[in-house]
Amino acid sequence: MAEDIPLILDDAMSGIAGMSGDVPVGLGDVDVDDVDLFGGPVDLSLPSHRPPSKQLQLRIDEQRIRGCNQRIAWSKQGTIASIGADGQSIELRYLRTDAEDASWALSEATSYAHFSSINTQTTFAGGPIVHLAWAATGHSELAVIDSVGRVSILAFSTSLNKPFALRSWEADPVDDLRAVVGCYWLPIVPANKQYNVIYGPAVREESGYRYETTLVHASGPYHPNPNKSALLCVTVSGTLRLLFSQNSNQVQDTSIELENITSSDDLTSHASICTDKNMLLIAMVTASRQLKVVRAAIGWNQSQQDKQAPLQSQQLNPMLQHKPTAVTTWLQHSGGESQLDISSDLVSHVEMLPSALSTGANHWSQPLVIVVREYLPTQSTASYNPEPQSIIDRWELVTESPPQPLHPAFEQLGFKPTQSTPQTGSQAHTRLNKLPPVTINKLIISIQNLHHGRVVCFFFSDGTLQYRDRFTFEEVFNEPNPARIASLQHASFQFSDPTPCLAAVLSPTNCSFAQVCEDGKVKWNNLKYTGPDLAPTGPDPNYTAIVAGLTTAVSTSSANIISYDDILATARQFINRPRFAYEWMMEIVRILKINVDYSEDAHHDQLVRNNSLHLCLSILNHLGFRGEFKPRSFYGKFSMLALNMRNIVILITISSNAPSNLKVNPLDEPDVVDALAGCAKWAVDFLAYTCDCIFNLLDDPKFQSFLTGNNFNEMVPYLLEKNEIALHLILCSSTRGFLSAACRRLLHLDSISSRATKFYEQQQQTPTGAANGNSSLRPALIMAYQKMQQYTSSSLIKVQEFDKLLWALGEDIRHTYQSTAAAQSGAAAKNRGQNQGQNQGQNQATDNAAKRFQAHCELTLLLANNPPAHFQPLLRKFFNTNVRQFRTLTDPAKLYFADYSILDVEDDNRSLQEKRARHTHIDVFKRVELKPTSSTSGASGSSAANAAGHPTTFPPHSAPSEYYRRCARCTSIMEDITGSRPGYTFVLAQQRKCSCSGNWGLLPRSAFVG
């Protein structure tokens, strides 16, 4: 029976068999390689993401287990600290200029492992170092935290890579419940005490860029001492610790319990702290998947009398208070995230952002909590979802006003209020409002707040980063926008060459970042210009956008006292453009409203205190530096001499005017007098060099032709070609003021050295005088004053007469300004048809216009442009009358053949070759020649000098004189010396930075072999 039933497939099979091989089988346009058995498409391409490395998996696990695990941190002063590979040391690096070609790079690492008390061995009973955090203080302070919450605090007061311990962690107990899961340094009181300043954006207009200024409300609490900060830590057990520094620099701590721990579910795994309206906001994630927000306050217990007392005498006794604010669960899945791996339900980052005033909207946003969870593909889940995933959950901390109570008329209708009905006097309710999550197909390894919390930066494991607006969470800074430049990315700058990494940190300027790569090496990446090629000459909108972006960046850094070395590194990409440095300075002067006109100022205090002018000179000095053995540019030579002059004036002034609380005169200490003697020698040589250059111009027929003919506008190009800066030094009112101040300080040193020498010689001749005083200091002090007297009395020029020459030139310039302004105002009044005495308001406007003209002329001279045509008769009189009369008081031959090597201004090939052969350096503090160390390894001097950061270990086991300080910006050198006496210590404190405002890096003397 079964055999008689035909199979359904018989006909089909017989049909196929009948086709034999003559009938082709086609599937239309379908490629058989692209379909599976059931006709679905098959993706044969390689996965777009490489599988995560073992190092990255371990790093993500670390971040999931506990918060507060920042491996690398960057201070405002420029030190980059990272955890060593052994977990028992930190490595200190900084950006530095290569002495050979002035290029920027990351220094070699300096290892530091001294976290205990002095003369005791550091122990690591608590485990490895897990977290680094910098304070925003003027002298950088670094918190080093190990895996059980022991805290060591280091201070960096003199150099970028030489710390000393403020607090040892030896007294901290070894307890897992004290492990730190979140920490925060209190902010520093801003300069105006109410706002933090952000310069920008730069808005393009027809006449150029208009610079706006953004004021961000500053929020406490602060340390009572405006120069100090305090460290807050949240522990696993929910305890809030406050580590604060007394005004005596002794670090103490206090604590308070935020949570009552009853089980392991109550333990805190991650926490974040921020300041908001003089309160602390603390976001905490617990093991029971709760997200809690707590408000806390710090009471410093200062009475009104304490606040009026000197800071040094105030004893701080702070008290912490807290109040639970809101709670929710942080595990709330969204539709777009992967739920294949249970580990994606673990938190890796928590960030608490304070409320902020949104730009243009004029309303305050709510505090924001950011929680990051990450999905890491594994072998079992990669086939379903091969891409990693970061889920960014956000909650607003919303405070809702209590509902209005019911009107009493409702009670007459029989409505009785229940317990759930709000009553009069009920408090506002605060809750966490969940916002839509953001999913990114990358792994977040770090979160950083920028622009005082207005922008959030996310670092990814592939070496890239992303900026998001704090208010809308939309991506920003991701494409050029020359019409409105709020960051260098808007001016076509980008980070290139991304490298996979385990940790990363942006610089305080946001213009570069450092990262810990998967092989453990630290790499520096700065912004590169990636826009269209710039026009070699003529106006270029892309070029003006670059200058505007650099201007806002360096101005914001300067206003917030942040090292801007990486901005200089970015700007060096354009130093081959002839006028780049001057055009950049022009914009900086405009945005910061810098006063460059000191033609009416007879006193030099305001000139010396003009930090913005110092900023301009420092930038010009660096951009004009081409290398240790290469000639400087015109503006580099000009600014270098101006900065050194300013520094010498400051040192002489503070040594002669010590504060009364010092109770000692620095001029009674031989080390101070010896250093001032070197400064006097430098100043005397500099004045002689300036006079020699002016005399050379007097004898130069071509230069003299500019003062009499119609080619006056060709004078400055001729001086630029010769690299002759002396004329601009005496014409520019600011540098002329430095010259005049140097003359008066030299006369002061000559007077006191003469009187001191006579006084001590007379004392030595009397038996009672020889027996009095410190016999060990007396001979050294006498010799120091004799050296000073020798330098000041053997000057090749008469210093007082040269000061009179400068005064006469200044008077002529002032009269020229006044006559020019009077002529312009008279012409303007004539055009308006006004009589004298009419329209007082218009006269005031004319005076303001005259001042603007005068300031414009001074800026023109400062930026090496041609002086106004009105200066031609002035200069003709100056050279033909004043200079000729002054030259009769000197010996021009001695000036011509004098040795000016201490000034480091000779830039001809022969002088540079001799300098390279000697390989000597000038100590910028003592102004003496530092002899090179003999080389036993055969290394060349130049290659050793280039190693601006040899591997070193601190504390050093050799004497301090075995180390040099090298400026990270201009490569100047000084000995690493410490003051053993109060006066010398006070004077040395003024040399915490180089004369160019660059920071010092400490190097062994062996790095400068000869």
Cα angle value 617/597/707 (rounded, 5°): 90
Q: Quick one: which of 577, 586, 575 has its CA closest to 861? A: 586
DSSP summary character for residue 774 = -
Residue 878 DSSP symbol: I
Give the integer Cα–Cα distance in Å for 557 and 517.
Answer: 28
* In the predicted structure, residue 940 carries a pLDDT above the cut 60: no
Q: Could you state, in order of their start, the residue ranges of all structural domains in the chain? A: 633-897, 907-1007
Confidence of residue 770 (pLDDT cuts 50, 70, 90): low
Q: What's the N-to-C CA distance of the chain in angstroms? A: 111
Q: What is the pLDDT of residue 263?
A: 86
| Alpha helix stretches (DSSP H) within 44-89 | 54-65
**Whether 637 contacts 625, CB under 8 Å:** no
382-408: burial string, b at 16+ Cβ within 10 Å, e else: beebeebbbbbbbbbbeeeeeeeeeee
Decide: pTM greater than 0.85. Answer: yes
* Beta strand pairing call for 952-954 and 110-112: parallel
User: Which of 621-625, 849-853, 868-872, 905-909 tops mean pLDDT?
Assistant: 621-625
pLDDT band at 768 (very low <50, low <70, confident <90, very high): low
Residue 380 is predicted with a pLDDT of: 60
Residues of the chain by 3-state class (helix, strand, coil), percent to 5 = 35, 25, 40
724, pLDDT greater than 70: yes
Tokens of 343: 């580990």
**How far apart are alpha carbons 94 and 107 in whole angstroms?**
6
Q: How far is CA 228 from CA 151, 155, 162, 304, 305, in A?
A: 18, 12, 20, 20, 20
- pLDDT for position 960: 44
Q: 335-351: per-residue pLDDT in tens?
A: 555 555 555 678 999 99
pLDDT value of residue 406: 60
Is it the case that residue 948 has pLDDT exceeding 70? no
Phi, then psi, of 468 in degrees rounded to 5 = -135, 140
Evaluate whether 86 touches 290 at the Cβ level (below 8 Å). Answer: no
- Average pLDDT for 913-936: 80
Sequence-distant (6+) residues with CB within 8 A of 176 are 148, 236
Evaluate the CA torsion angle 406, 408, 413, 417 in order and state its sign.
Answer: positive
Residue 901: CB partners within 8 Å, gap ≥ 6? 911, 915, 929
Tell me which H or E stretch contains 790. Answer: helix 778-793
Q: What is the mean pLDDT of residues 344-362?
A: 85
- Residues 6 or more apart whose CB falls under 8 angstroms from that of 816 comprise 870, 871, 874
Return the structure tokens found at 501: 């990494």
Give one DSSP letter per residue of 200-267, joined into a string. EEEEEETTEEEEEEEEEEP-----SSTT--EEEEEETTSEEEEEEE-TTS-EEEEEEESS---SGGG-
Determine the pLDDT at residue 661. Answer: 77
**Range from 330-344, 423-437, 553-567, 602-616 that averages highest in pLDDT:** 553-567
Q: In this predicted structure, what is the pLDDT of residue 938?
A: 37
Estimate to the nearest angstrom the gap between the alpha carbon of 534 and the chain centroid: 28
User: Which range (404-408, 496-500, 518-522, 694-698) has the least confidence?
Assistant: 404-408
**What is the average per-residue pLDDT within 381-402?**
81
Write the pLDDT tens digit of every residue in 527-540. Answer: 999 999 998 877 89
SS3 of residue 843 by DSSP: helix
Helix, coil or strand: residue 166: strand
Q: How many CA atoms lie within 13 A of 261 on its CB side?
A: 17
Whether 904 contacts 976, CB under 8 Å: no
User: Which pLDDT tens digit goes with each residue over 848-870?
Assistant: 777 888 899 999 999 998 898 99
Sequential DSSP letters for 562-600 = ---HHHHHHHGGGTTSTTHHHHHHHHHHHHHT-----TT
Give strand ranges (E) for 885-979.
Answer: 921-922, 929-930, 952-954, 963-967, 973-975
> Is the Cβ–Cβ distance between 975 and 159 less than 8 Å?
no
Nearest to 237 by CA among 176, 157, 318: 176
Write down the residue that tokens 């015109």 correspond to.
Answer: 634
Sole residue written with tokens 């980052």 = 349
Residue 716: CB atoms within 10 Å: 19
Higher pLDDT, 311 or 107: 107
What is the rounded CA–CA span in Å between residue 856 and residue 867?
10
Least confident range from 352-361, 484-493, 882-891: namely 352-361
Residue 10 has pLDDT above 70, yes or no: no
Please, which pLDDT band fits residue 947 given cuts at 50, 70 and 90? very low
User: How, if at all, do strands 140-146 and 465-469 pair?
Assistant: unpaired
Q: What is residue 932's predicted lDDT score, i.e. its pLDDT?
A: 66
Q: 742 near 649, Cβ under 8 Å?
A: yes
Measuring CA to CA, which residue among 157, 219, 155 is closest to residue 187?
219
For residue 354, is the peptide bond before it cis, meaning its omega torsion is within 30 degrees of 0?
A: no
Decide if pLDDT at 244 tops 60: yes
| pLDDT (average), residues 576-592 | 95
What lies within 8 Å, CB to CB, of 79 at 6+ separation is 92, 93, 94, 134, 140, 142, 156, 160, 161
pLDDT tens profile 773-802: 555 557 889 999 999 999 999 999 999 999
The DSSP output letter for 178 is: G
What are 277-303's pLDDT values in tens digits?
999 999 999 999 999 999 999 999 877
Residues facing residue 208 across a β-bridge: 205
From its phi and psi, is residue 991 left (phi > 0), alpha (psi between -120 and 50) or beta?
A: alpha
Instruction: Decide if 668 contacts 978 (C-beta within 8 A).
Output: no
Q: How confident is the model at residue 190 (pLDDT cuts 50, 70, 90)?
A: confident
Q: What confidence score (pLDDT) does residue 11 get? A: 45
Q: Report the pLDDT value the prediction gives residue 949, as an integer from 0 to 100.
A: 41
Six-digit token pair at 117?
């008390």
What does the pLDDT look like over 679-693, one tens digit per residue?
A: 999 999 999 999 999
- Residue 570: per-residue pLDDT: 98
Tokens representing 978 are: 């410490």
- What is the distance, to the nearest Å, from the Cα of residue 455 to the centroid of all Cα atoms in its chain? 18
- Does the pLDDT value for residue 119 go beyond 50? no
Give the separation between CA 930 and CA 715, rounded to whole angstroms: 39
What pLDDT is attached to residue 931? Answer: 75
pLDDT for 243 beyond 90: yes
The pLDDT score that the predictor gives to residue 891 is: 96
pLDDT tens string 194-228:
889 999 999 999 999 999 999 888 988 999 998 99
Q: What is the pLDDT of residue 581?
A: 95
Residue 200: how many CB atoms within 10 A of its CB? 24
DSSP code for 191: T
The dihedrals phi and psi of 518, each to the nearest 5 degrees, come to: -65, -20
- DSSP labels, 209-227: EEEEEEEEEP-----SSTT
Write out the two tokens for 91: 């490595």
Q: pLDDT value at position 265? A: 87
Q: Quick one: pLDDT band at residue 25, thresholds 50, 70, 90? A: very low
User: For residue 945, what pLDDT is reported?
Assistant: 38
| Type of residue numbered 891 | D
> Of 156, 143, 139, 140, whose CA–CA distance to 115 is shortest?
143
8 Å CB contact between 106 and 72: no
pLDDT of residue 315: 86
SS3 531: coil
802 conformational bin, left if phi > 0, alpha if psi -120 to 50, beta if neither:
alpha
Q: What is the mean pLDDT of the chain?
A: 85
